[in-house]
Amino acid sequence: MTLSGARIIVVDDQADLADNLQELLEIDGADVRLANTAKQGLQLAAEGFDVALVDVRLPDSTGLALVPQLHALDAASAVVLITGHASIDDAILAVREGAYAYVLKPFDSHELYNTVSRAYEQVQLGRRAARLQRELERREAELSTMVDTVAALLLVLDEEGVVIHANPAVSAVTQAPLQDLVGRRWADEFVPPGDRQAMLQAYRELHAGQLGVSFEGRVLRRGRVVEERVIRWRLAAATAETGFRIYASGLDLTEVRTLERRTALAEKLAAVGTVSAGLAHEIRNPLNAATLQLQLLERRLSKLIDGERAKSLLEPIELVRGELSRLSRLVTEFLVFARPAALQARDTDLRDVLAQVVELERPVAHNRGVALELEAVAPVVVEADGERIKQIAFNLVRNAIEAAHTRVVLAVEADGAGARIHVRDDGPGIPHADLQRIFEPFFTTKESGTGLGMAIVHSLVERHGGSIEVSCNGGTTVTISLPRRVP
């Protein structure tokens, strides 16, 4: 081991001995500085050193007292004590104080050189270990920062699927504090029952030795209202000293999937609207003619035949009239959907508009054993077409009354961007598969439905520059967000 580059301090009040040591060590390239008192030695040490050769007896202190002071300046340094009078107790005390070695005078130059070389080697190893430790800590801090700030969901699970570690993105999606995530079974508590099997199958494949598994599934967000987020997962596994571990990374695709559905829906609406406009006009003319002829037939039969016989003949006519009326409503909805009238937007108090809807629909709700309530503590004014907002509310409230068990709530509130309207019922909710198609034209689960009501609602909301969301949690909640001003 060479001493080239070593920074060595010799603290000894015997000038001849100190000069000899300096000459011996500088032959191999060491940088040797001399001090004849403890005070001078500390001053030199403050400038930086690797190894200190210190006499046990100094004019202003002792070598043993100097050892901890030198280590305080540089913990990685090595101190070699020199003495002409040594005992077992002195050697034990020197080691206890942190000295690297204890050299007796007179000493063999070769032996001293080897001792200093070993001390310098230890110092270099210690400094290298310290650098590696600092680098490791730095990298760990960077990695921790990256894990904490990355938008992806990062999970570490044990072999049973219990959460060992989660990053803040997981907490943001689930609305569960990080400390509450650890120790919980991920699939059981944060995955909807319909998607749970996919997650458990991924666990089994990883246990079987598969390198990685990818799939798309939903995650529950347990806030004030339980929501579902669509996550694209990539899972891998590894076995460490602590046991089998599953590493999961996920990307939240909820907004992407929502945008894709809206784009597809907009395309369908545009295509259906074009067809509906032409079809509605073609149907309306013969429909009006058929209705008129039916009325004429009814009058003629009423004049020619009296009594029970006339009544039995008029019953089929009444049935046909009802079907023609339903067809007329369908054509009207076609036209409203295909060629909507321009919005008559003006400052509108949504509370007043919704109060009118509640007043008109309350008898219908009462007949079905449903309580219809309005929640609005203050006026909520936005720029909107009041009649179109009323049409939106009528459609949503009628659907809610038909689905509810006992209660429907229509609420409106102001927010920083405009207003939000909520229609909530306590019914059975909407199946997930139907929820994905609820705004598609002609999609309906009602036997006599046209499948245009929610499509028209969606169109009117978008024309106001707003958005509409439907969620199910112990019932169905439809939330409409409207801007303060129509764009």
Residues 6+ apart with CB under 8 A from 195: 217, 218
Do residues 182 and 70 share a domain? no
The CATH code of the domain that includes 45 is: 3.40.50.2300
Please identify, among 144, 159, 179, the residue that sits at the C-terminal boundary of a domain.
144
Do residues 286 and 246 share a domain? no
Do residues 92 and 210 share a domain? no
User: Is residue 479 domain-resident?
Assistant: yes
pTM of the shown model: 0.47
Do residues 210 and 127 share a domain? no
The domain of 164 spans 150-252
Do residues 72 and 138 share a domain? yes
Q: How many domains does the chain have?
A: 4
The CATH code of the domain that includes 213 is: 3.30.450.20
Please identify, among 252, 277, 306, the residue that sits at the C-terminal boundary of a domain.
252
User: Is residue 372 domain-resident?
Assistant: yes
What is the pLDDT tens value at each position of the chain, 487 positions in all? Answer: 678 889 999 999 888 888 988 988 888 889 999 999 999 999 999 999 999 999 888 899 888 889 899 989 998 899 998 887 666 666 667 767 788 888 888 878 888 888 889 999 999 988 888 888 888 778 877 766 666 667 788 899 998 899 998 988 888 888 888 888 999 999 988 998 888 888 989 999 988 888 889 988 888 887 666 678 889 999 998 887 778 999 999 988 888 887 777 777 667 666 666 666 666 666 767 777 777 777 777 777 777 666 566 666 677 777 777 777 777 776 776 666 656 667 888 999 999 999 999 998 998 999 999 999 999 888 999 999 998 899 899 989 999 999 999 999 999 999 878 999 999 999 998 887 788 778 777 667 776 666 677 888 888 898 899 999 888 877 899 999 999 988 7
Sheet holding 78-83, edge to edge: 31-35, 7-11, 51-55, 78-83, 101-104
Q: What is the 3-state secondary structure (H, E, C) of 198-247?
A: HHHHHHHHHHCCCCEEEEEEEEEEECCCEEEEEEEEEEEEEEECCEEEEE
Do residues 323 and 443 share a domain? no
The CATH code of the domain that includes 447 is: 3.30.565.10
Helix/strand/coil for 68: helix
User: Is residue 187 domain-resident?
Assistant: yes
User: Is residue 435 domain-resident?
Assistant: yes
Please identify, among 200, 224, 252, the residue that sits at the C-terminal boundary of a domain.
252
Residues 6+ apart with CB under 8 A from 399: 453, 454
Cβ atoms of 120 and 77 closer than 8 Å: no
Do residues 372 and 460 share a domain? yes
